[in-house]
Amino acid sequence: MFGFFKKSKIKTKQKRDPKRYEEEKAIAEKGDEKKRLSLAKNTKTHQEILYYLAEKDPSPEVRLAVAKNASTPLHISTLLAEDTDVDVRMALAGRLVDLLPEIGSEKHSQFYAYVVQALGTLALDEVLKIRKALSSALKDHAHTPPKVASQLARDIEREVAEPILRFCAALSDDDLMEIIKQHEDGWQVEAVAARPQVSERLSHAVIETGNVKAGAELLKNEGANITALLLETIIERAREYPEWHEPVACRKTLSPEMAKTLAEFVDERVRTILTDRQDFDDDTCEEITQIVRRRVAFAGGDTDETAMERAGRLAAQGELTEEIVTDALGMRDYDFVKAALANLADTDLEKIDKVFSMKAPKPICAVSWRAGLTMRTAFKLQQEMGKVPSKELLYPKGGTDYPLSSDDMKFQLEFLGLEAA
C-alpha cells in the first residue's frame, strides 16, 4: 500500500485573485527552486499555476510537490502519470488510490474518468515497483476500477498480476475466463482457482485446462462453486492426478456414491479420510471398506495366469461379476477388462479390441449391454478405455438406464459381427 496521503478532498477550481495570480506566475516562470517548491506545496496556489509547474518545471522535487498537493486538479493526473521521475509517478498513484472512495460513486463523472485514465497509464508503467505498489493497493480495494484491474491482471510479472487475480473483486468472469484460456498451464490459473469466490463457470474452466496444480487449489477452496456434475468429472480425471485425491476426499459436497468411486483407486491414507468422514453412514463406510478389500484381493491374484485364463477361471467359479470388472477398470488392468468383456459377451478378444479402437460410444454401449453390465459401467468404459471425446459420450438415461433402444443395440452388435443375446 502506498500510505503517502491522508484522505484528501477533491478540489474544484477556485476563484482567481488577479494580483496573487500574477505573483505566482512570475515565481513559476522565473523564481528559484525554493520559491517554486513553496508554490507547489501551497494548497491555495492557483490551479493553472500548478498545471504549469507539473508540465514545465525542470525540478522533480517541485513536480513531486504538485503531485502531492490536494489542490492539484485531477485532469493534471493524466500529465503527471507520464512524468519522467519515478517518485512523481509513485506519489500520484498514492493520491489517486486515496481518492477512489470519494469518486467511486460518481463513475460517470469527468473526475472519475481522469482518475481511471491516469491509473491505467500507471498500470502499464515501465517501472516494476510502481505496478507492484498499485497492484498491492488495489487488490482488495472496494473501488478498484475494473479497467485498471484488468490491465494489472494481465501483467507479465507474477508479483503484479497474481494479487489482482487472486483477490480483486473488480475483475469480471469474462476477464478471468479470457486469462485462463491464454495461460492454461500457468500460475495465472492457480491464482484464479484460489479466489475467495469462484463461480461455477470459472470452476469448469479451471478443470478443463488440465492444470493439475490449479485443480488442486480449486478443490481445496471452500469458496469454489463445484457442482455435483463437475465433481463427478473431477473424480474420473483424478485417476490420472494423485494430487487431487485428498482434496476431493475432503470436499463437503462429496456424495456417498462419489466416495465409493474414489475409493476404487486412491491410496490407503485417502481411503482412511473417506471412512473417517462423519457425514457418511455406517453402510457407506462398510461399502468403501469392501471395495478396498476387493482391490487388494484382485491385485494379489495368480500372476502366472493370462488375462483370458483368469477371466475364464472366475467365470467358471461364478465370480466374474460386474464388480470385478469395475475393480479391474479402477486399477487400469485393461487387458483383464477386455478379457472379461469377451467372456461375458461370448466373443473373442479381437472383436473387443476392435470395439475400443473405434473410440465410438455406441459400440461400447452395445458390447456392455450384451455382457450384462449396467449403463454406469458402460459410461466408465467409454471414458477410460474407449477415450471417447467428452462431447460424444452417451450418458445413462435417468441416471441408470441405457439411452439406446434394444433395436439400436442389436444393430450395433450385428455391425460388429456379434449376435444379440
Q: Counting every residue, how long is the chain?
A: 421
Output the CA–CA distances (angstroms, integers) from residue 20 to 25, 45, 52, 135, in the order listed. Answer: 8, 9, 16, 41
420 is a domain residue:
no
Bridge partners of residue 224, in order along the sequence:
198
Rounded distance, CA 204 to CA 189, Å? 12
Output the CA–CA distances (angstroms, integers) from residue 32 to 27, 29, 35, 159, 319, in the order listed. Answer: 7, 9, 6, 41, 100
Residue type, 161: A
In this prediction the pTM is: 0.71
In this structure, what C-alpha cell is assigned to residue 20? Answer: 496573487
78 is a domain residue:
yes
Query: Is the distance from CB of 163 to CB of 136 less than 8 angstroms?
Result: yes
Q: How many domains does the chain have?
A: 1
Tell me the CATH number at 9. 1.25.10
357 is a domain residue:
no
| 207-231 tens-digit pLDDT | 999 999 999 999 999 999 999 999 9
Q: Chain-centre distance of CA 295, in angstroms? A: 34
372 is a domain residue:
no
In this structure, what C-alpha cell is assigned to residue 274? Answer: 473417506
Mean pLDDT for back-to-back runs of 10 residues, the chain (421 residues):
45 76 94 96 94 96 96 93 97 94 76 94 97 96 95 97 97 96 95 97 96 97 96 89 94 92 86 89 86 68 78 90 86 90 92 92 95 93 89 88 92 82 45
Rounded distance, CA 135 to CA 152, Å? 7
Coil, strand or helix: which one is 279?
coil
Query: Is the distance from CB of 342 to CB of 348 less than 8 angstroms?
Result: yes
Query: Is the distance from CB of 391 to CB of 361 less than 8 angstroms?
Result: no
13 is a domain residue:
yes
334 is a domain residue:
no
Coil, strand or helix: which one is 298?
helix
50 is a domain residue:
yes
Range of the domain at 13: 1-171
227 is a domain residue:
no
Output the CA–CA distances (angstroms, integers) from residue 113 to 91, 120, 144, 257, 297, in the order listed. Answer: 19, 10, 13, 54, 70
Helix (H) or strand (E) holding 96: helix 86-103
Rounded distance, CA 108 to CA 6, Å? 25
Cβ-based burial of 388 (10 A; exposed 0-12, middle 13-18, buried ≥19): buried
